[in-house]
Structure 1
Amino acid sequence: MTEFNPELRTVNVTRYVTPLREGGSLPAIAEADDGFLYVLKFRGAGQGVKSLIAELIGGEIARSLGFKIPEIVFANLDTAFGRTEADEEIQDLLKASVGLNLAMHFLSGAITFDPAVTILNEKLASQIVWLDCLLMNVDRTARNANMLIWHKELWLIDHGASFYFHHSWQNWEDYAKKPFVQVKDHVLLPNANRLNEVDQEYRTVLTSEKIWAIVSLIPDAWLNEEVFDIPADEARRIYASFLETRLASTDIFIKEAQHARETRI
């Protein structure tokens, strides 16, 4: 068996191109020293590093299951960056985000997924619903599907609203075994009629080895005790244990999804 060993590159941000104001935390398109454009998520915005951690774990879990995900990289922001930015709100955001941030490769020319135009097959719809139930991702609705069509293929983006348990943190064991009631609003739920089949497949693919390898990618700088009140290794252990517990309890969220689907159709 091939060892699963995910790695993320680190780039240095060289140019702030434009804000993406449809995002509540003011993400931006930025250029890095490798010459590529990225969608940059800032540690100094909104939910701070917890959103970046959710983005990192959620995106790499999705990639490990075979979904198409834009490359995720660590993006370093220098202290001198943004001093000439005229917009005070953006300048404050840049100052608060010095250090390691997260970015996704910008898919130039991609179009937003429209469920009225593109109908996904039942297997793919079930796979995405299963993933979002596992991650407790509340942000895949008709209002904001967080999916793109690029070169005629479906790409998943934006998993920063996953793992909402970590905003209260203490009751993670309870959250890990909860149904995902927000699945009722999932944009793909009406077509997701193969959840049991997908569950059998994905529980085999998503091993503890893969979970721990992905969680190990979280930088120490994001797990400081000012945010989590516990050592970095303990925080990583909780993220991994949350996923392992949830993976052992998939019948709970599958039943919830099936019930919600029956209600909608």
Structure 2
Amino acid sequence: MIDLLQYDFIVNALFIGITLALSASLLSPYLVLNQQAMIADGLAHVSFAGLVLGVLLSNEALYIAIPFVMIASVLIKYLASTDKMNGDAAIGLVASVSFAIGLILIKKGSGFNISVESMLVGNIFTATKADMIISTIVSVLILIFVLSFYRSLFLMTYDLNYAKFSKIKTNLLGYGLSLLTAFFIVIGVRTIGTLLISALVVFPSIISSQWTKSFKMTILFGLISSLVIVVMGIFIAHPLEIPVGSTIVVLYTLLLILVIGLKKVLRR
């Protein structure tokens, strides 16, 4: 395992994996516990279209994909806030339309030389220096956002009505959380893949909530489990020549099964 660290692409993959794990574990409780986990999956499908558009229009796809997905996240949030459409419907609508547009662009766009499979499953071992820089930026922004508005986000997660009564700017914070989630998802899709990136957001809180009812400990345990699983996934996937994203999801699933099993045993 230590020998693998002599390769730059392994070090780069670990760097991005750790930053993604940090970002996902910080976002996880505010999305999962507030029943907004599906927004990550929806934005992943939007990112697919954004990256396709970016490949066709620019040498650096992220410059197009990031604003594209951020605009879509604002649209989802706006549609979900209206009385005529709930959150799941808004996510499904924007995600399906975006994914369909992405497939059309691949079919009809000239100069598209990236395989659809690589976009669906990702490849963290091909991460560039630009990916590393942007993943660091998004992690720092999410960390600052969570630390700055921790109490307000906590109240919004557990009691939205009380948060509004306390004169917390719930709409503004909600849009901010959506934008940061979109930023994270775009980077994650490039490395983990469209089909699997939402798992990084969903699993940390589900796993940690099996052991603790404290919100702070949920974040802490989620962070620890994310870091361990992502690092293990990278070191396991490379020698076996299997997708890193798929490996991470399988490891998360095994950990969840183990945690639930231990919980049942200890209760007897």
What's the TM-score, normalizing by structure 2? 0.29
- The TM-score with structure 1 as length reference comes to 0.29
Higher strand share: 1
Higher helix share: 2
**Structure having greater relative contact order (Cα 8 Å, sep ≥ 6):** 2
